[in-house]
A and B are shown apart, each in its own frame.
Chain A
């Protein structure tokens, strides 16, 4: 199916099924409500086939360009059917499984993720391991038939909902840095896993601490080879900066559109022009990235440019909203106020998660400007 056919077919399906797809709550959803909504949308889109396009047939997909996934993500975001960040985790985790899991495992698991039957999480960061990912210390020890994991992860989004986790572990010596890391696909109901949600400043338990005490992981749940975990992580990260960002851009476009419609008298032309320009620059850049991905190019450090542009645009949109709707954001408790406030607060994290703004600039300096080592 080509993009035009997909676009018109999906738009028509979204119109016809608007009632079934609609949110069954008013106002700012709780995280439970949001997760239920995402599962519902995924299930309906899977049964109708739409969410299966752009994924290979061997993992339950219907084939076609990754642009089809990009348009689906954009379309459900434009209609406010899903939270873009939570919905787009599929875009980050499914490619990892397709590239690194045993084919039988990928064929068994990926359809569950696409259909919304399961939620997966990504166990990367640790208390002592934020920007310096290669220093992680959560240890996996070899046994006769697999691994035993001991250690702790943090900032693990949706761990309390997740059935599976793509987990980075230390399998080499503590000094082995990026060479001694192995990726595992872990069942979250394994004995020995403890989860403690953390409340964010925007009032959601969106991420967690996860503790591993003698957690047994079978050998056939190894993603890639032992010691290949760094490659798994490096291949995964550009996906955080491609289709997922395209969807986030669509979200920002909808919110800026709503802001301009709601409060035009509180905005200055210069401010609106600057914010729109920032968003347009991101969109133009991300458009090229979507097409590079679709043409089979391997994405790499150049996606750090997309991330910097998106984070800058996101904060610009919600800075403008917090100025124009100051009464709502600071004092309001009704109507749209909690949503604008939550989104304003969440936008502060845009320059922190998924590789901080500083890390992105370090990558750009080293890999794209060839400035050499930074010490």
Chain B
């Protein structure tokens, strides 16, 4: 057979046993820790080494478990930094694009920066942050270190306060050490971030489906489990189909390696998450509408993460605009 197998391929860095061991320790970490404690646990288990050795496995495993467990970490920033070639440093935070945007969060003005972006929960504990800045005039983006103390951080409550996002702004922020990551680097960093977010949203969605599935088999009405009613079964089947398509697109996104592949994957995962949230909530009915049940954490997380680095809706529209402009479809996933 030529090319990779679409089924269980072994990524370059880790063999099967190593991957299983790695996945087990990541699952343990995400199930028991969140926030700064999860960052520490990931450092202990060597997640950064895994990221360097086998990026796909490190990202897929961590973000899917993190999403499934409704945990948070600073890993998304490290993925972006690693893709920029910054040599990810857990001591340095990363400023992400503002909600709904995917352009560089900074703008260079001589020796200072204007910053409009988002920070993950751990940013406030870091002394320094990496900001990618669009160039003042021509040329590519610059990656700049700034002092977190020079930025204004506003905690975001919103739909998912537990995510701990922060709005990051700054005017005339003094630029520290800087490097030129190359013209394509920002696009690649956004693509890597989208794949990571897609895995996290997929993990949250799988949790929503699992909760609804378990509820349907346990909840008895009219003398039988509600899972025996076709109206309920078909909702869960519909969610399952949407997530299978999303997972296949994620696999294709890694394989293809292009920014478009990552955008398509994130869009399909976003669509799958929305489909799953709707059906799972309806099947969970009253209890799923309460804070006594875990469903709402996953629904909030999936919905908010969908907005980062381009939502399913925006990415889909942009894709449509591209196709209509080109008046043709791009070549697709060869056998």
Give me the interface of A with B, judged by CB distance under 8 Å.
2-4, 65, 67, 70-71, 74, 246, 253, 256-257, 260-261, 264, 267-274, 276-277, 280-285, 287-292, 294-295, 297, 305, 308-309, 358, 360-362, 364-366, 368-369, 371-375
Contacts and interface: CB of A to CB of B under 8 A. Distances in A.
Interface string B77-112: 000000000000000000000000000000000000
Nearest to B264: A280
Contacts of B37: none
Range of interface residues on B (Cβ < 8 Å): 35 or more
B6 A257 contact: no
Given A270-B320, A273-B318, A3 B245 contact: no
Contacts of A375: 228
Chain B contact residues, majority secondary structure: helix
B21 interface: no
Main SS of the interface on chain A?
helix
Contacts of A309: 241, 244-245
B238 A273 contact: no
8 contacts: A67-B335, A257-B329, A264-B327, A285-B244, A358-B234, A369-B213, A369-B233, A371-B227
B138 interface: no
A281 B248 contact: yes
Contacts, number: 164
Interface in B1-46: 1-3, 5-7
Nearest to B227: A371
Contact of B316 (A67, A270, A292, A361): A270
Contacts of A287: 6, 248, 252, 333, 335
B319 interface: yes
A302 B323 CA distance: 31
A3 B329 contact: no
A257 B237 contact: no
Nearest to B321: A269
A372 to B, nearest CB: 6
A149 B252 CA distance: 49
Contacts of B320: 267-274, 276
A297 B7 CA distance: 10
B246 interface: yes
Contacts of B329: 253, 256-257, 260, 276
B258 interface: no
A364 B316 contact: no
A251 to B, nearest CB: 13
Contact of A368 (B7, B240, B264, B324): B240
B321 A305 contact: no
B249 interface: yes
A328 B335 CA distance: 34
B184 to A, nearest CB: 23
Residue of A269, A284, A292 with highest tally of chain B CB at under 10 A: A284
Interface string B215-236: 0110000000101111001101
Contact of A369 (B236, B252, B271, B318): B236
A100 B271 CA distance: 42
Which one of A280, A308, A361 has the highest number of Cβ atoms from chain B below 10 Å of its Cβ? A280
A256 B315 CA distance: 19
A361 B237 contact: yes
B7 A288 contact: yes
Name the 9 nearest CB pairs between A and B, nearest first. Answer: A273-B320, A269-B320, A281-B245, A365-B233, A284-B248, A273-B316, A291-B6, A288-B6, A272-B320
